[in-house]
Amino acid sequence: MSSFRLNTLVVVGVGLIGGSVALALKRAGAVARVIGVGRGNANIARARELNVIDEVAADLSAAAEEADMVLIAVPVRQNAHILGQLRDAVQRGVVVTDAGSTKQDFVAAAREMLGAGASGVVPGHPIAGAELTGVEAASAALFEGRRVVLTPLPESRAAAVDMVESMWRSCGAQVTRMTAERHDAVFSAVSHLPHVLAFTLVEMIASRTDAEELFSFAASGFRDFTRIAGSSAEMWRDICMANADALVADIEAFRKSLAEVTAQLHAGDGQALQRMFESARAAREAWLRKTP
Amino acid sequence: MSSFRLNTLVVVGVGLIGGSVALALKRAGAVARVIGVGRGNANIARARELNVIDEVAADLSAAAEEADMVLIAVPVRQNAHILGQLRDAVQRGVVVTDAGSTKQDFVAAAREMLGAGASGVVPGHPIAGAELTGVEAASAALFEGRRVVLTPLPESRAAAVDMVESMWRSCGAQVTRMTAERHDAVFSAVSHLPHVLAFTLVEMIASRTDAEELFSFAASGFRDFTRIAGSSAEMWRDICMANADALVADIEAFRKSLAEVTAQLHAGDGQALQRMFESARAAREAWLRKTP
């Protein structure tokens, strides 16, 4: 449906996200060859077995020599180390993108590790489920209709941004561009803060002496509310640390909103409480109506 | 399977809960006749049409004359008014129970409206989904394997408590007894606080000037986390007001826990953050393993 086509894509970290990009591009006929680079030897071998990737490479720098594009899809704390191995490749015009949940930290790492070579870097964030992990869960359809945010640097080459945008479109995604700062503020509010709230609630209950009895009466509402507290602790530590400034501001705003609820309860102000609940319920309904 | 059988059950408020009790008892052969009393005329007529109830009564006091048991399943704020119409019935030994989400307020209303007649009152709380409402959603299977908490008063007659427990067992539920104070503390932590957190988060985002953009990037994790903010604002106002003391204590404890997260983020203490996330994740997994 589009004439976009990569000759060689290198995927660093062939898990759910990296594997799904490879499968989606193959299905769309938008890539000729995918080289996988990964630290988990069993996982990368399985990715080859499943034909998610065409070749396995141990040496990222060497593999990147042959690439049009490198997709970094590893835990964000490894980004700097990986970017450091792409110095020669970006010099030669290879385009580098990523799939991390925070973007200012990736921008900073790209500038630190690559200097002027950061003009070949186009940070990205696909908004796709993280309930599953690993290449076994990868699917060519994972990004269909999903949103992907690109946060180009001011120095990112226009052609590089277009290439990364075309790549995600070939996967079926809807692409939006914004600054890394704006991205991190948006996702602090709608993703990072909710995760912190869910983890904090479960831990508050778990650390009480009557935890066992409390959990025994938790029902389906509690299960849904805390589902995101089933996510990887390591990954969420990294996200929270990487986006600490925006997240702290949102946590403090939330604490202030909770203090207002306490004040309304102390004052017996049922009307104010109902207004707030009703406004929230209506906003959520309106959001659900607009969400496919 | 049991010899428990009511001659006449009066259900006040034939919605999801009241209707499901009627259907479950009929299926179990545990009730001969169900009389429905309700304010919504269309709803009560529909309940009769669907054979959820056998008769419709406009006058609760008169209907209660013929009952062994009266089940009150209306918005909790109407409880006192309804209990006031049961003065004669409890004098004659009719057993009264309810299905409200808070219990100390029901105990107080029973004592205020019925005096010594409160010995015929056995407060109850079935832990069953509130996503659906109305008699159309009623099901004989709603309480199968679900928990019901009874909070007998010290003055509740032992025979009355046993009768209400048998009634719920006939519906397929598992019955636990505890004090009303303990009940309200437990559900403040595992239900009322999570609802407040979900409503507060949605309202905090909805009231920002960039709300539309924020919502446009909210994904499935946000949808699950805020599902309980789709609940009735009126019902949750009543629950929060009725259980204000326990809820305020839990809100303040939660604010304190959040302040610790802020401190860890300020200090860059990723280890402490990861420990908390991991402890929460593990506690939630352990809970899910134990939950049928």
Report chain B (292 residues): mean pLDDT per 10 consecutive residues: 86 95 98 91 91 96 96 92 97 97 97 97 88 85 96 97 98 98 98 98 98 94 94 94 97 98 98 98 95 73
Q: Quick one: average pLDDT of A11-16? A: 95
- Partner A contacted by B253 (CB < 8 A): yes
Quick check: A246 pLDDT over 60?
Answer: yes
- Partner A contacted by B132 (CB < 8 A): no
Domains and CATH numbers, chain A: 6-178 (3.40.50.720), 183-290 (1.10.3660.10)
Q: Quick one: average pLDDT of A195-219? A: 97
Which of B266, B287, B288, B289 should we substitute to test contact with A (largest number of A Cβ atoms within 10 Å)? Answer: B287
- Partner B contacted by A252 (CB < 8 A): yes
In B, which residues are within 8 Å of A195 by CB distance?
A: 221
Burial of A213 (0-12, 13-18, 19+ CB in 10 A): middle
Quick check: A2 pLDDT over 60?
Answer: no
Among chain A residues, CA nearest to B280: A203
Q: Which strand (E) or helix (H) includes residue B142?
A: none
- Partner A contacted by B203 (CB < 8 A): yes
Over residues A41-84, the pLDDT tens digits come to 788 999 999 999 999 999 999 999 999 999 999 988 899 999 99
In A, which residues are within 8 Å of B195 by CB distance?
A: 221
Among chain B residues, CA nearest to A212: B287
Quick check: A98 pLDDT over 80?
Answer: yes
* DSSP reduced 3-state for A3: coil
Which stretches of B229-291 are DSSP H helices?
233-242, 244-267, 270-290
In B, which residues are within 8 Å of A253 by CB distance?
A: 204
Residues sharing a CB contact under 8 Å with residue B187, sequence separation 6 or more, in sequence order? A217, B101, B102, B125, B243
Residue B3 has what pLDDT?
82
With beta carbons less than 8 A apart as the criterion, state whether B50 and B168 touch: no
| CB-based contact A276 B199, cutoff 8 Å | yes
* CA–CA–CA angle B232, B233, B237 (5° rounding): 120
Which residue type, as a one-letter code, is found at position B214?
A: L
Q: What is the dihedral of CA B153, B157, B162, B168, to 10 degrees?
A: -50
From the list A207, A223, A265, the residue facing B248 with the nearest CB is A265
Over residues A135-144, the pLDDT tens digits come to 999 999 999 9
Residue A41 has what pLDDT?
77
Residue A131 has what pLDDT?
62
- Partner A contacted by B200 (CB < 8 A): yes
- Partner B contacted by A193 (CB < 8 A): yes
Residue A1 has what pLDDT?
47
- Partner B contacted by A194 (CB < 8 A): yes
Q: Quick one: average pLDDT of A157-165? A: 98
Residue B184 CB coordination number (10 Å): 27
Could you give the C-alpha distances from B246 to A266, B42, B99, B101, B259, in angstroms and in order?
12, 37, 20, 14, 20
Q: What is the mean pLDDT of chain A?
A: 95
Residue B133 has what pLDDT?
78
| Higher local confidence (pLDDT), A232 or B54 | B54
B96 vs B201: CA distance, rounded Å: 38
Which residue type, as a one-letter code, is found at position B140?
A: A
Which of B195, B237, B243 should we substitute to test contact with A (largest number of A Cβ atoms within 10 Å)? Answer: B237
What's B50's DSSP letter? Answer: T
Phi, then psi, of B26 in degrees rounded to 5:
-65, -45
Distance from CA of B140 to the nearest CA of A (A): 19
Long-range contact pairs involving A81-88 (C-beta distance under 8 Å, separation at least 24): A82/A12, A83/A109, A83/A110, A83/A113, A83/A114, A83/A121, A84/A113, A85/A60, A85/A61, A86/A60, A86/A61, A86/A113, A86/A114, A86/A117, A87/A113, A87/A114, A87/A117, A88/A61, A88/A64
- Partner A contacted by B267 (CB < 8 A): no
| CB-based contact B277 A199, cutoff 8 Å | yes
Residue B39 CB coordination number (10 Å): 11
Confidence at A149, pLDDT banded by 50, 70, 90 = very high
Q: In sequence order, what are the beta bridge partners of B31?
A: B6
| CB-based contact B274 A194, cutoff 8 Å | no
From the list B206, B211, B268, the residue facing A241 with the nearest CB is B268
In percent, the amount of chain A with pLDDT more than 70 equals 98
B21 vs B9: CA distance, rounded Å: 10
This prediction's pTM = 0.92
With beta carbons less than 8 A apart as the criterion, state whether B261 and A251 touch: yes
